[in-house]
Amino acid sequence: MATADTGRTVRVEYNDSVVRAFLIATLVWGVVGLSLGVLVATQLSFWQANFGIEWLTFGRLRPLHTNAAIFAFVGNSMFAGIYHSSQRLLKTRLGSDGLSWIHFWGWQIIIVCAALTIPLGFTQSKEYAELIWPIDLMVALIWVVFAVNFFMTVAKRNEPNLYVALWFYIATIVTIPVLYIVNNLQLPTGALHSYSIFGGVQDALVQWWYGHNAVGFFLTTPILGLMYYYLPKAAGRPVYSYRLSIVHFWALIFVYIWAGPHHLLYTALPDWAQSLGMVFSLMLWAPSWGGMLNGLLTLRGAWDKLRTDPVIKFFIAAVTFYGMSTFEGPLLSIKTVSSLGHYTDWIIGHVHGGTLGWNGFMAAGVSYWLIPRLWNTKLYNEKWADAHFWIGLFGILLYVGSMWISGVNMGLYWRALDADGFLQYPDFVEGLISAGVLWKMRLVGGSFYLVGFLLMVANLTLTMQKGKFQSTVVEVPAMPKLQTVSSWALIKGKPVVFSLGVIVAAALFAVSSPVTFALPITFGAVLTVAAILYAGAEKREGGSWHQLLEGKPLAFTILSLVAILIGGIAELVPTIVIDKNAPAVAMADSTGVVPAADVQVVESRFLQQPYSPLELEGRDVYISEGCYNCHSQMIRPFRHETLRYGEYSRASEFRYDHPFQWGSKRTGPDLHRVGGKYPNLWHYQHLMDPRSTSQGSNMPVYAWLKTRKVDFTKTRGKMIAMRKLGVPYTDEDIADCQDVAKSQGTLIASDLQANAVTIEPDCKMVAVIAYLQRLGRGPQPVALEQAAAPEATPATPETPEIPAEPAAPVDVPADGEADGATQNGAGDLGQLVGGR
């Protein structure tokens, strides 16, 4: 970019006080998040570590651990690095000291609110988005403060061009609000409770579009920005390749946003969305490894520092773990691999390899590099830092290795069939027991990582005590007068037009020819990358197109936003629009009446009916207790799953589920068809003492559910909210909800009392039992007279008993295989088993 140098200099005092605050918060919340991780790992190996206290159970602490690790530990580290590096890269003080401190204290208040509400059972039950709606509003507000402060800093910069680290910061800042707001669209029913406006399949797609990209744009892009700043600083070398940085950035943010559906392979999600997620996940290999290589090769000519500098050790190990995680993620998105690894510990190992290795080690490297410089001293003890590295590395490898082995072992246990084609290990718990030693190894690995982190905290605390904090003051050249083109000219430039044309052409090919779906998308992506390379390499008077773009923050931000919106709109809108505008389903019957062409025909037993008032309350208790952390409600179309759990799950069975409860990990068995499988007494005994019904279970006791009462005064408001979301409750249903709930509760309590169990009909345990007994079945009796007249209750028809000989393989796909038609409800899988 051509500039006219003014020759003036300006004195700048950086706001390092807020950087210091975020760094200290990083250390504090890191200890909290890692300690919670060790506690929940202990609970998985020793169920007694739940202590019989409702707010200390695994189901409640596990989401607290993930939120503390992601948003408290990594979040504070990210903000510290962004605020520190942005001031140096832009050669100016932060836009507003006031906004900086509002951002800091607001973020800490959010974390404290999360720490108070999640253990108390206030949750939305969405992974990485459990926070209740008032806290969601706080997150959105504080993020706006952060964005305004950042762009104010950019606006008053004394450096004409945006360095590569700033590109990644901008992508993070504009993408997170889009993801967070869409996924957290809620309809409140009270001050601390709400329902997702999306339901069933739509909610699942939106959640994992958010969940995957929260990892991409909160745990990846900002940390890559830190890598591009701090790794060259520590190495004393420039970034290896400017052109590779361009390709890495644009390809990553465009491709990443499409990959969310790979979390939902072989579920009731439409097959086109699953395939789309898988294809784009595989394409992520290229930009991700391009970024990794750009980081590693930055150390060229300085590899000797790896032996002596602990900061370099942390950075290089972190980048290596980034490469490992971004190889493993696309690998797990391949359908055959996902059929084995999904719901197992393999996913846990994958997630923690990225979080502990990539995010944790980058945070450690940034802290070790920053704190001595901000306190104008040397690190207290470099040998301690070196010991931290090796202790932490050993902990990660032990943790991830044990989870890889455990995950593959679990998957093989659950899918093993005998010579006759039936389950070799029919008891679900057998798979868990086989993983016992590996779970203890995971606990040891996590403990080692925590010990290493505590050593770092001690080292950096002593470093701060030894030195004296002082904000940096520098003299920098004043912002030169820019001689450049307009933002609009850059936005409509040849590289943008060419890239968009390729994307549109690829999309048209994909729509018109589903058989060759993957080919045009891949081809389009290759051409898009070629266009970006062309843009980065093209030289012209005053600089290349991309160099000119780097001098126009507004144009750069708009194009970044467009890049991420294309994928989000393409994935979400079709599914949501189809659900809203097409008559969803018509029950198949024996009348011979042919439904309209735009109506999907579904057997009545697979057509979800609204929950009764008591079942709705029981579902809320299920969510509050965090049962979704261990139990799925999605049976995939594999023989081993239909033999174990019952018929595979259909999309029509979840249309009134706000939010969905498909889960992502099976520490306990799938519950989608548990209704009617066991009597009420079994469920009561299982909740009071899980080992009395399932020997070897690591589930905590839930005895307090027997003494906690359901507040039926709130049921009416919940049903009104559900009706607004499309659940067909009538005025009569809503008006009589309390009486109906108490009547159904009395029915269940009477059944338990007949088995010598004294229990109140309005307790939470009765509500949970009502909900569990409803899963996979139609409406259940809500009054004594209905129970005496079963013909009045449209229960799910009985399924045939298992025949002596296995049926033909055409009815049940082989393990690792399922076609889209069968998967989406056209087939009649699972007729071999009852499983109710």
Helix (H, G, I), strand (E, B) or coil at 126: coil
Q: What is the pLDDT of residue 162?
A: 94
User: Predicted confidence band at 582 (pLDDT cuts at 50, 70, 90)?
Assistant: very low
Residue 368 has pLDDT above 80, yes or no: yes
Alpha-carbon span 597 to 547, nearest angstrom: 54
pLDDT tier for residue 490 given thresholds of 50, 70 and 90: low
The pLDDT value recorded for residue 575 is 74
Q: Is 592 left (phi over 0), alpha (psi -120 to 50) or beta?
A: left
Round to whole Å and give the CA distance between 796 and 781: 13
pLDDT reported for residue 826? 32
pLDDT at 151 over 60: yes
Q: Is 248 annotated as a binding residue?
A: no
What is d(CA 285, CA 292) in angstroms, rounded to the nearest whole number?
10
Question: Under CATH, which architecture does the 613-823 domain have?
Answer: Orthogonal Bundle (1.10)
Mean pLDDT on 586-597? 48
Higher-confidence residue of 818 and 706: namely 706
- Mean pLDDT, the chain, whole residue set: 87
* CB contact at 8 A, 404 and 396: no
Mean pLDDT check: name the lowest of 38-52, 210-224, 814-828: 814-828
Domain-wise residue ranges, the chain: 10-470, 613-823
Q: How many CB atoms lie within 10 A of CB 105?
A: 12
Q: Is the four-CA dihedral 778, 783, 786, 787 of positive or negative sign?
A: positive
Q: What is the separation, in whole angstroms, between the first and last Cα of the chain?
A: 69
Q: Give the pLDDT of residue 478.
A: 85
pLDDT at 804: 37
Query: Is-contact 257 334, C-beta < 8 A?
Result: no
- The stretch 203-222 carries a mean pLDDT of 95
pLDDT bin (cut points 50, 70, 90) of residue 480 is confident
C-alpha–C-alpha distance, residues 403 and 348, integer Å:
7
pLDDT at 760 over 90: yes
pLDDT digits over 255-307, tens only?
999 999 999 999 999 988 898 899 889 989 989 999 999 999 999 888 888 99
pLDDT of residue 825: 35
Q: Which residue pairs, CB below 8 angstroms and at least 24 apart, start in 306-309? A: 309/234
Query: By percentage, how much of the chain surpasses pLDDT 90?
Result: 73
What number is the average pLDDT over the span 678-707? 96
pLDDT value of position 518 = 54
User: Does 388 carry a binding-site annotation?
Assistant: no
Q: Is the pLDDT reported for residue 502 higher than 70?
A: no
Q: E-assigned strands of 203-281?
A: none
The separation between CA 405 and the C-alpha centre of its own chain, rounded to angstroms, equals 23
> How do residues 789-822 score in pLDDT, each as one tens digit?
444 333 333 333 333 333 333 344 444 444 433 3
**Contact, 52 vs 513, CB < 8 A?**
no
Under the banding of pLDDT at 50, 70 and 90, the label for residue 213 is very high
> Does the pLDDT value for residue 246 go beyond 60?
yes
389 and 310 in contact (C-beta within 8 Å)?
yes
pLDDT of 380 over the 70 cut: yes
- Mean pLDDT over 143-154 rounds to 97
Helix 310-333 / helix 361-374 crossing angle, nearest 10 deg: 150
pLDDT above 90 (res 636) = yes
- The predicted structure's pLDDT at residue 807: 38
Tell me, what's the pLDDT at 783? 73
> 160-201, pLDDT tens digit by residue?
999 999 999 999 999 999 999 999 999 999 999 999 999 999
Asked which of 451-460, 489-498, 612-621 is least confident by mean pLDDT, the reply is 489-498
pLDDT-wise least confident of 41-50, 716-725, 795-804: 795-804
Confidence tier at 10 by pLDDT (50, 70, 90): very high
Say whether pLDDT at 314 is over 70.
Answer: yes
Q: Which residues contact 53 (CB under 8 A, 6 or more apart)?
A: none
Give the pLDDT score at 48: 96
Average pLDDT over residues 634-650: 96
Architecture category of domain 10-470 in CATH: Up-down Bundle (1.20)
What gap in Å lies between CA 835 and CA 815, rounded to an integer?
18
Mean pLDDT across the stretch 101-124? 97
Task: State residue 745's pLDDT score.
Answer: 97
778: pLDDT strictly greater than 70:
yes
What's the whole-number mean pLDDT along residues 615-644? Answer: 97
Mean pLDDT over 578-603 rounds to 50
pLDDT at 527: 60
pLDDT at 229 over 50: yes
What pLDDT, on the 0 to 100 scale, is given for residue 724? 97
If you average pLDDT over residues 721-739, what whole number do you get? 96
Q: Does residue 517 surpass a pLDDT of 80? A: no
- Given the structure tokens 């409800």, which residue do they identify? 825
pLDDT at 600: 55
Q: Is 263 annotated as a binding residue?
A: yes
User: What is the rounded average pLDDT of the residues 503-531?
Assistant: 56
Mean pLDDT of 134-138: 98
Residue bearing the bigger pLDDT, 493 or 379 = 379
Structure token digits, residue 555: 């144009």
pLDDT band at 785 (very low <50, low <70, confident <90, very high): low
